[in-house]
Structure 1
Amino acid sequence: MSALTHDEAVSGQGAAGQRTAAGILLALASALTFGLSGSFASSLFDTGWTPGTTALVRSAIGAAVAVPFGLAALRGRWGVLRANLGLLTAYGLLAVTGAQFCYFMAVERMEVGPALLIEYTAPAAVVGWLWARYGQRPGPVTVLGALLAASGLVLVLDLAGGASLDAGGVAWALLAMTGAATYFLVNADHSSGLPPVTLAAGGLLFGTVLMGGLALVHVLPMGASTADVVLAGHRTAWWVPVVLLGVVTCGVAYLTGVAAGRLLGARLGAFIALFEVVAGVGFAWVFVDELPTGVQLLGGLLILAGVVAVRLGEERVVASGEPTDAVED
């Protein structure tokens, strides 16, 4: 059985190069659309929306967008769907419910940028998991990339500069990191037989059902408002960020993200997704006037340098003839 990695790094020629290029474009599109979620959610929190309601409505709209595509991609293979009910439940619980609800809980307590950067220590967790579980020891350039990204994280948090962080917000962001790592690992798994679009749609649908159940038993904090929100200094109707959260930052983001994971693998896909941090910080500046400091911007550049180093590390592994995919279980 193929492992969760399928990290197919290539030299950029032929069909494999086209797959990688397509995967990178899809991963960047996913990161860009995911990056909008913090700003839109933050604008709703200011009017009385709770993270629970925001996550539930976002997931429900995203599922409505993705499910028709997921059913079409399945092409009547209901046996494959039944065989993967456990996987879809876990994906919905961790990669959908866990990642977005915990992230929104973090954003309610701290700024979008730091919350995103704590969540996106997930790529380092992915590298560690692949090493521990499958013996995929990262090469020196990949390790250098991880260290650069970690150094960038320290600078973005600006702890040395005396920045104060809400302890509860940090804890929620770390929980979101666990969900994000699961998202990258499951996305890269070819062994389930599920089309990537079906995996995204099923995960969103199961995640919505799980959150709905938690809301019914009053575990998920619920609350909403129809008051106008402020985005980019302008007042707009409440439903505008709600629709954008569901369609763009959920439906489109998950569909492109899962497709990218199948083409790139868990490790490379996770590091390219760090672009979401840069996009999220930029969107937070534009939409909710949260401007990072110079030190935090330098940290963002280090994180991008880490992504480049990881990409180069993957290419060197392939050039040396070492296996990077198809680890047999």
Structure 2
Amino acid sequence: MVEAQHGRMGVGLLALVLSSAAFGTSGPFAKSLIEAGWSPSTVVLLRIAGAAVLLLPIGLWQVRHRLRAVARELPLVGLYGCLAVAAAQLGYFQAVERLAVGVALLVEYLGIVLVVLAVWALTRRAPHRLTGVGILLALAGLVLVLDVTGQATPDLVGVAWGLLAATGLAGHYVLAARETTLPPFTFAGLGLGAGALVLGALGAAGVLPMRVGAARVDVAGHPTPAWLALAELVVVAAAVAYVLGVLGARHLGSTLASFVGLTEVLFAVLFAWLVLGELPGPWQLVGGVVILVGVAAVRLGERARADVGTAERADFDLPSPVA
């Protein structure tokens, strides 16, 4: 029994680390396309639409005998697609156009802090003291990451897009934690499909620029077909990443999985260095560590609050990243 449990833990840990690594590739490959003239909205649309095409057949097969139940869940799925998929990914990809990949992802991860602040505002229940310390650390780390006291002035438009991504990430944690009868594959596939429809409609209306760039992009200093970079974003950074994330979360549970999910930031910085030659400065690296410590403290504080029966059930139930 103990050996079986350890085996499940090992499988779950491996799946989540690989999922974080897969998610971490999205920023560098997206930025290579953006620098070649592709608009961020086009890259996002192709990524989530392609992933939806891959995941939806599996998800719909799982609920083929429960289509009425699926219809009842469509409002929740639609809201998830608009906020957690479309807003989060569009904000992140727009941010990486103006900021370093690691910086953009660190700003997005402040969405976890936004969840705590939103619950605090709605319930008027003060968070755990450890959560408060974590929030302060995360904000202090953000100041270091953005280098607001240094010579380089951060791109405020890029920061604004990063905060939109953070809002989308917060929506992911809140909405994905809602009770639903849909299996994870179905929920994720329908959510990706809904997000793709929203972005496609905005592009058709001229609200979002849908621009196709060069046929070849620069990946790690080598000319690479654009379709290959897009395939990586669809297959590895979206479909495979989501599948492994679901598998890992089922084996480890939401709390432990959420901590492992923080490794996405580290992988994103690593891949940005390998693919784009981007490496944050020393103070930005320090700020990134401070943000990660702050986010971890927020999670510990909310877990401690839940243990005494005062946490809201919606907090941090599904830890998969959405970058």
Q: Which TM-score tier does this pair reach, normalised by the shorter chain?
A: 0.7 to 0.9
Kept in 1: contact 2:82–2:195 (CA 8 A): yes
Tell me what 1:251 maps to.
Answer: 239
Aligned mates of 1:159, 1:260 — CA distance in 2? 37
Kept in 1: contact 2:32–2:276 (CA 8 A): yes
Which amino acid is the alignment partner of residue 163 of structure 1?
A
Kept in 2: contact 1:272–1:307 (CA 8 A): no
Q: Deviation string for 1:127-186 (max 9, x for gaps)? A: 112333346643222332333233222222122223222222111111111111101211
Give 3-state SS (helix, strand or coil) of 1:84's partner: helix
Give 3-state SS (helix, strand or coil) of 1:132's partner: helix
TM-score normalised by L of structure 2:
0.84
Kept in 2: contact 1:149–1:305 (CA 8 A): yes
1:74 to 47, 63, 82: 63
Once the two structures are TM-superposed, the CA of residue 324 in structure 1 deviates from its matched residue by 4.1
1:183 to 168, 172, 178: 172
Uncovered stretches (5+) of structure 2, i.e. residues with no partner:
315-323
Which amino acid is the alignment partner of residue 69 of structure 1?
I
Once the two structures are TM-superposed, the CA of residue 18 in structure 1 deviates from its matched residue by 9.3
Once the two structures are TM-superposed, the CA of residue 23 in structure 1 deviates from its matched residue by 6.8
Tell me what 2:309 maps to.
Answer: 322
Kept in 1: contact 2:25–2:271 (CA 8 A): yes
Kept in 1: contact 2:38–2:214 (CA 8 A): no
Once the two structures are TM-superposed, the CA of residue 325 in structure 1 deviates from its matched residue by 6.0
Aligned mates of 1:135, 1:16 — CA distance in 2? 39
1:163 to 121, 127, 152: 152
Which amino acid is the alignment partner of residue 190 of structure 2?
G
249-258 or 159-168: which moved more?
Answer: 249-258
Matched positions, count: 312
Kept in 2: contact 1:28–1:273 (CA 8 A): yes
Q: 1:157 to 1:193 in 2, by over 3 A?
A: same
Aligned mates of 1:270, 1:202 — CA distance in 2? 23
Uncovered stretches (5+) of structure 1, i.e. residues with no partner:
1-12
1:50 to 32, 39, 48: 39
User: Among the aligned pairs, what percent are the same residue?
Assistant: 44
Which amino acid is the alignment partner of residue 208 of structure 2?
L
TM-score normalised by L of structure 1:
0.83
Q: Deviation string for 1:289-317 (max 9, x for gaps)? A: 11111111112222332344345435544
Give 3-state SS (helix, strand or coil) of 2:41's partner: helix
Q: 1:171 to 1:315 in 2, by over 3 A?
A: closer
